[in-house]
Chains A and B, each alone.
Chain A
């Protein structure tokens, strides 16, 4: 049985009234003032905004790396934050429920491509063989299976980013957070990565939030969240190129 076919449906992420304040008293800074977002399973949305608008803070809060000050967050069918974390083991939450794709791929340099992807299920306690099988299936889906035994340093930038996407998908998370995944790539490769993210979102019914400054990929989103002064505003995107 294809292990990838076991993905559940009904996922996505809903953020309601999220706020984040750094510091106290007169020196307090409200990095997030009112964030409301909803990303459905299979959807890829853009999150854009100028520097200092709160993008990174929002990404860290969504990634359970920092604790918001207030708000509510639902992941899949589970409320994980309601003015406090409702999940005790945030490390396991990040491992099992959230996928990350970074600006640079940040693959583990001493693991080959397969083990870079298989590491997450292994960390979750799955058998090595099963984890590697799942990794290889994803690598095939992302068209990098031929580099399965290569070390990260032997891959091109585009290949590395595809491996990073495979790693983000491997534990079947309901949401993937992509932090400027196309920044180091040229236009063609950047669009290729976005195309892959759309395919994966649709294929595996994963909600993907792409934080970006990249003008060339912004027109590809069907829906965009602008963040300015810690507040999000939703607008419809052009959705070019993937229909």
Chain B
């Protein structure tokens, strides 16, 4: 038996292919949306992995440096270093801001790090790590910065000495690493007018304006002894949870293990975004199903007389149903191929990381085929209702 569906597609291939391309672009958008979600999850995991930390020590009752503001004293790390099982500990600050380079601004997360400590970029694609105490930076290549370019963060200029990649914040902003002291200053730096005003206010306060006190107050106002978190690496053979517990108990700080931090980033921080994307996926799936149903229904309605003739000359219902269903599946296959290719081509052009996983593509393919089969049911129902008598005049 010949394949009626294949012959029909072959006969009207132009209409079929163009329809498949249209559907494919929609499928490409759907796959890309899934890729955007995967990219967000992957960014979160990469952020944790690249920090090199096993524990995050943050302000009590906060969700840590990525999800909520956290402020801890910058000398905390010293006492943590003395806790059992701690291999290394380093301060870190995070500050999302506009970094200026020449005439352009780049949205970036500025990270204050202790060179060679936890939190520093794990690897470079060009240049070197920060070695000087001030005014050097390592930037993610997504910033578009080049080696030896000068970038401006607040009032200071920094030279880009190294480039890294896949170092982005949970929001997808590329990271720029600078020395910790510079970052602390940048985080709390006020403009000159504000500093003068603050000094005048302090001087006008009789409680501060006493010998020795006023200088101490002004000094404390112009320096920043806080960081956002202390990143801790655990000695081999120690469990992260076992090391975290005494820090929580005796130092009275919140300590997160990597699994807990991943839970915060994936389940809490991007939960709303993932629901948003989930809604998009559902809507796109419904739109795709509606389009396939409409197209197949229209194609079928255009063949009512032929279907009546086929039924009159003895074609079984299942042969007609199979013809319509095969066409719907064919449309889905064309759409999937076009969609997959499109998504693969345009994914790198997105400003944020889009991760197209083969598993998602496979699940997408199965979903498309199921949608196409379901969408063809409407047309099959209409075709099976066709009275073979319609082929006979009168």
Contact = CB atoms under 8 A, between A and B. Distances in A.
A3 interface: no
Nearest to B315: A123
A123 B392 contact: no
B314 A179 contact: no
Contacts, number: 81
B8 A56 contact: no
Contact of A108 (B10, B309, B314, B319): B309
B152 interface: no
B314 A92 contact: yes
Given A110-B11, A151-B11, A120 B314 contact: yes
A119 interface: yes
Contact of B306 (A66, A100, A109, A128): A109
Interface string A60-84: 1001011000000000000000000
A110 B316 CA distance: 18
Contacts of A125: 1
Interface in B1-26: 1-2, 4, 7-8, 10-12
Interface string B359-394: 000000000000000000000000000011101111
A122 interface: yes
Given A106-B305, A108-B310, A123 B389 contact: no
A115 B11 CA distance: 13
B110 to A, nearest CB: 64
A121 B387 CA distance: 22
A95 B391 CA distance: 14
A59 interface: yes
B interface, over-half SS: helix
- Pick from B7, B8, B313 the residue with the most CB of A within 10 Å: B313
A58 to B, nearest CB: 10
Contact of B1 (A59, A66, A106, A123): A123
Interface in A94-136: 94-96, 100, 102-103, 106, 108-111, 115, 119-120, 122-125, 128
B393 A102 contact: yes
A95 to B, nearest CB: 2
B314 A55 contact: no
B306 A63 contact: no
B388 A65 contact: yes
Contacts of B269: none
Interface of B: 1-2, 4, 7-8, 10-12, 305-306, 309-316, 319, 387-389, 391-394
Given A65-B392, A66-B389, 20 more contacts: A55-B394, A57-B394, A60-B392, A65-B312, A91-B311, A91-B315, A94-B313, A94-B314, A95-B313, A106-B309, A108-B4, A110-B7, A111-B4, A111-B7, A115-B2, A119-B313, A120-B313, A123-B1, A123-B319, A128-B1
18 contacts: A55-B394, A57-B394, A59-B394, A92-B314, A94-B312, A95-B313, A96-B314, A100-B391, A103-B393, A108-B309, A111-B4, A115-B2, A119-B313, A120-B314, A122-B2, A123-B313, A123-B316, A180-B393
5 closest Cβ pairs, A-B complex:
A95-B314, A56-B394, A110-B11, A110-B8, A65-B389
